[in-house]
Amino acid sequence: MVNQNLKNVVAVITGSSRGVGRGIAVALGRHGATVYVTGRSAKAGDSPFPGTVFEAAEEVTAAGGVGIPVVCDFSDDAQIKKLFQQVEREQGKLHILVNNASVIPPELYSPGPFWTKSIDIVALLDVGLRSSYIASYYAAPLLVRGGRGVVVNTSTYGASSYIHGPVYGAQKAGHDKLATDMAIDFREHNVAAVSYWFGAVATERHEMAVANLPPGEGYGGVFKVIEGREFGGHVLAAMYNDSALMQRSGQVIIVAELAQEYGIKDVGDVEPPSYRGVLGFPHVQHPSIIV
């Protein structure tokens, strides 16, 4: 059985009041982790979607972990710095950082070329790519101090295939490159950096995107199996405890493939498939380093 025990492990999940981030947070809580649940939503109505950092933190605690809610706007560098200062005061170290915060305007899902949409969707590069770099910057000393750590950037097949247009693709490809290059800087400190490719996940935004489509036709009918929100978190728990963690550092990882390797299944004993053959996979980074 794969070891998924995260007792005494401290994690920060950015953008975890709902969606994939909340699912990962709750899953890590089920394995005993202390999880900082972070995001902008402090009360109902702060977002068109349900969920707050306080509700998500309560769910983490109810699952068996320790959920700590922190309201943080990831478009504000000062608030990100303050978040990690709090983690340092309260924990003194960090073991897992999941970069998941993003701003996704509803228009992103609209059909049509990028120039027919509002230019405001470029915010996805600010909260979603830039904010991941800032969070990693402030988290890095705490991860190094923790003695064993991992940074996980949430990404998708949009890094290699056209999904939602160029801004979305650039953000996902950027997450991949951040992980591969941060891995080089971290490699002497027993801290790994990876990018996680999810398939379609059963989030509030996914339900909105496919609400008016016939069954099975969301995302062009490609994703036949919808991953549960906690699926990636259970895989992460196993990867963190894997003795081969550092060997994975710098990699782009398809969550479904790693789950198969660990023998982890989703809700209902389902094995979500990899879509590598349909939607592609990035090239392997060249080992050359220029400093």
Q: What is the CATH number of the domain that holds 23?
A: 3.40.50.720
pLDDT for 204 = 62
Residue 97, beta-bridge partner list: 12, 151
Task: Give residue 191's pLDDT band: very low, low, confident or very high (50, 70, 90).
Answer: very high
Task: Please pick, among 36, 138, 157, 168, the residue that the annotation labels catalytic.
Answer: 168
Inside any domain, residue 165: yes
Dump pLDDT digits (tens) for 19-55.
999 999 999 999 999 999 999 988 776 666 668 999 9
Dump pLDDT digits (tens) for 106-116.
888 888 999 99
Number of domains in the chain: 1
Dump pLDDT digits (tens) for 221-280.
677 788 989 999 999 999 999 999 999 999 999 999 999 999 999 999 999 999 998 998
Inside any domain, residue 87: yes
Report whether pLDDT(210) > 60.
no
For residue 137, give its domain range. 10-199+226-274
Q: Which of 185, 163, 182 is nearest to 172 (CA)?
A: 163
Per-residue pLDDT, averaged over 147-169, amounts to 95
Inside any domain, residue 205: no
> What pTM does this model have?
0.93
Considering only residues 290 and 92, tell me which one the structure prediction assigns the higher pLDDT: 92
Question: Is 168 in the active site?
Answer: yes
What is the Cα–Cα distance from 57 to 37, expressed in whole angstroms? 6
Inside any domain, residue 172: yes
Inside any domain, residue 213: no
Q: Which of 252, 36, 257, 270 is nearest to 159 (CA)?
A: 252
Alpha carbon separation from 12 to 84, 91, 103, 143, 209 (Å, rounded): 9, 11, 18, 11, 28
Inside any domain, residue 282: no
Token pair belonging to 132: 């991941």
Token pair belonging to 18: 């709902």
pLDDT for 290 = 79
